[in-house]
Structures are given as structure tokens and as C-alpha cells.
A = this chain, B = another copy of it.
């Protein structure tokens, strides 16, 4: 047996409290408010089965072969259409297709985060994103937010990256308003700081309206991260990054060192899915489903939660962010909630510094409306009991 002697960067890894919760909750019939898994019921599985079979029969030799590190051109062309929905005039020669936007985040961090660099993130922010910056030995500082999203803070240390999810934020659910977007970009331009705009939920506004991406007006300032996980299928693990033009070659090279090329076959499948107009119809239907589920969740919160519990308005995305009375610890509530068949993610998972003890995230994307109504009632009951102890 060898001695365990990990690389020093391992010390800066960010232990995921989300993972811990998922492990506890792997029981049948659990009502899960924990994950960010999309509802896939509206996908046209027959269409996808036929498209897959056709790709393998008609162009199997190409689909199962190596392809280029930047991603297959036909998918990058389709991506420009998707990006145009949020005001971006993208060019297919600068997008880099990645194994989920998660890996895109790794590529950016690998090239721009030196050990000790500060990466600014929203407060709270996506646990899996902050884990990436920590893996590259960056120091994540979560800056003050109000209900409007990120308020950039001047910092003493070197800072090259701001990480933001401006549209239907994870976990906060907030939509960054226009004046904050303007202010954020002004500050980042002034201080020569890049913005990572992580936008998996941008097309999931309940009213069907889209919001102009930060990238649209600042193409050379923003690493735009797109994902097919929330609007199509996370099991394909495909996303992309549209970087400032001068960094395309570097990101392609890093993508190649990481995975040689993104998977060919499923890139062609996504391209086929986007070629058919059905995807926008399916997306429209998903938006309605999520809107209804969010409505049921908020109604149930209103009906069952005791005084002193507050939550954000939800206009899109997957999450409701709850603030409990200060004397209640949302992490301590996890075990009793799971005992009664309901799981959520305690707020501490979304901070790097131990904050969030009386906050929690509830996702409404996957459970049924019946489960949502039942689960909120159970949680309210657990909260009352914890509160009384």
C-alpha cells in the first residue's frame, strides 16, 4: 500500500454538503426538493430515439469517431441560434462545446485562476461552481447581495473573475435587474475583470420572456456559459462556453488536454434536436409546468409556513430560497425532514464561509405538484417542531 500523499491543491477542495444530503436521501418515495434535475416528461423520446438511430445508421462512422476539440460545427451553428434568443449575435467559430457547462467552468478556472486569486461570486451561489474555483486554489469571496443579485465589491487581492448567474439565480432564484447588470459590467470594465456569466436557466422564465444576456453587449468581457442540462437533457452532459475572441484557442487547447474532444455522437443528437422546431414547443410547455409547480410551492409556503419564514419571488428557473427565523438551523432540520420523507439543501452548502445556517434551497423542478404540496406541509411541521426545541 502506498502512503496517501495528495497534491497540495487537494487541501483547497470544497467539501460538498449537497452531496452529503443526496447520500442521506437515497430512499424510495422521498419527496426531493434537493436536486436541480429537470422534469423530462415533455421530451419527445420517440423523436430522440429515431434521431439517434438515424445518426448511427447514416453517419455512424463519423458519429462514433474522434472529432475536433472545439465541438462539431453543426452543433455550434445551432448554438448561435439558441444564443440569439437572449440578444447575443454569436459566431459559431468562437464557441467551445464542453462536457456540460461544468467543464466549461473548469476550463476558465484552469486558465485564469492562480493560487490565492480572489474569485468574486454571489452570496449565496452555486456550490458546484465555487468548488471548481477552489479546486484551482482560488479564494472565493461571496460579496454582499440584496434582492437584486450581485453587488460587486472592490477587493485588495488580485481578482480576474466575477462569477454570476444573473438570470434566475441558483440558489437565490433572483433575476438581476437591468440597472444592476449595467453597474456590474461598468465595474468589471473599469477594473479589467472578466465576467463568467453562467446561464443555464435563462430560457426558463415563466412568462416566456427572455432577458438580454450580459454577453450581448460585452462580448470581449464575458465568458458566457450555456447548458443543455436544464432546457433539454442533463444526461448528455453537453454545454458550451463563448469566450472573449482572444481566448478561444486557449480554451480549445485546454479542452483537448482534458477530454480530447466533446463526445461526437451526442453532439450530433443535440444538433438534430435543435434543428427541429419541436424543441421550442417542448421548452414552452416545460416553462408552464415549472411555473405551475412554483406556484403550488409558493401557495403551500404561504398556507403552511409559520410567521418569520420568508422567501424570494420566483419568476423563472428551478428554486425557491427560504429564510428561516434566526434561531432555527436549517442543517439540523435535514435529518428530521428526511425521516419524514422530505429532503432539501441547507443554505450552508451555498456559502464558502459557514453562512446560510438559517436558509435553505427548495427546488420545485422534479417533484409533482402533489408532492410539492405535501412536502411543504411536512417541512412546515418539522420547522415548527425544531423551532420549539
Q: Is A132 an interface residue (CB 8 A)?
A: yes
**Segment of A54-62, A170-178, A298-306 in the binding face:** A54-62
Chain B CB within 8 A of A48 CB = yes
A49-B48 in contact (CB<8A): no
- Does chain B have a CB within 8 A of A103? yes
- Residues of B near A263 (CB, < 8 A) are 99, 235-237, 263, 266
Given contacts A37-B65, A64-B40, A66-B37, contact A10 B56 (CB under 8 A): no
Interface residues of A in 246-282 (CB under 8 A from B): 246-247, 250, 253-254, 256-266
- 0/1 string, A107-118, CB within 8 A of B gives 1: 000111110010
Interface residue? A372 (CB, 8 A): no
- Give Cα A40 to B258, complex, Å: 24
Q: Please tell me the size bucket of the interface on A.
A: 35 or more
Contacts of A63 in B (CB 8 A): 235
Specify which of A41, A46, A260 lies most central, judged by the most chain B CB atoms within 10 Å of its CB.
A260
Task: Tell which of A7, A9, A54 has the most Cβ of chain B within 10 Å.
Answer: A7
| A134-154 interface bits toward B, Cβ cutoff 8 Å, 1 = contact, 0 = none | 011000000000000000000
Tell yes or no: A389 within 8 A of B by CB.
Answer: no
Task: Give the number of copies in the complex.
Answer: 2
A260 and B238 CA atoms in complex are apart in Å by 11
Q: How far is the CA of A217 from the CA of B239 in the complex (A)?
A: 40
Q: In the bound complex, do residue A258 and residue B102 qualify as a contact, i.e. CB atoms below 8 Å apart?
A: yes
Contact yes or no, A259 B99, CB < 8 A: yes
Q: Check A244 for interface membership: any CB of B closer than 8 A.
A: yes
Q: A49-B60, A66-B235, A266-B265 are in contact. Are A258 and B106 (CB under 8 A)?
A: yes
Q: Does A387 touch B at the CB level, under 8 Å? A: no
Complex CA–CA separation, A53 to B2 (angstroms): 45
Q: In the complex the two chains form, what is the Cα distance from A43 to B19 in whole Å?
A: 39
The reply to whether the CB of A67 lies closer than 8 angstroms to some CB of chain B is yes
Cβ contacts under 8 Å, A62 to chain B: 235
By a CB distance below 8 angstroms, the chain B residues around A5 are 112, 160
Q: Give which listed residue, B7, B234, B246, contacts A64 with CB less than 8 A.
A: B234
For the complex, give the distance between the alpha carbons of A279 and B351 in Å: 48
Residues of B within 8 A of A253 (CB): 13, 16, 19
Whose C-beta in chain B lies nearest to the C-beta of A19? B256
A235 and B6 alpha carbons, distance in the complex (Å): 32
> A160: which B residues are within 8 A, CB to CB?
5
Interface residue? A388 (CB, 8 A): no
B-side contacts of A64, CB under 8 Å: 40, 43, 48, 232-236
Does A52 interact with chain B (Cβ within 8 Å)? yes
CA distance A366 to B54 in the complex (A): 24
Which of B7, B45, B260, B265 is A56 in contact with, Cβ under 8 Å? Answer: B45
A contact residues vs B (CB 8 Å cutoff): 1-10, 13, 16, 19, 35, 37, 40-41, 43, 45-46, 48-50, 52-54, 56-57, 60-67, 99-100, 102-103, 106, 110-114, 117, 128, 131-132, 135-136, 160, 192-194, 220-221, 229, 232-237, 244, 246-247, 250, 253-254, 256-266
A-B contact pairs, 25 of them (CB 8 A): A5-B112, A6-B250, A7-B110, A7-B114, A9-B110, A9-B114, A10-B250, A13-B253, A40-B61, A40-B64, A49-B53, A62-B235, A64-B233, A64-B236, A99-B263, A100-B260, A103-B259, A106-B257, A128-B257, A135-B257, A235-B263, A236-B265, A237-B264, A258-B258, A263-B266
Given contacts A7-B117, A66-B234, A100-B260, 15 further A-B contacts (CB under 8 A): A2-B192, A4-B246, A5-B112, A7-B113, A40-B61, A43-B60, A45-B60, A48-B56, A49-B53, A49-B54, A49-B60, A52-B52, A64-B233, A237-B261, A263-B263
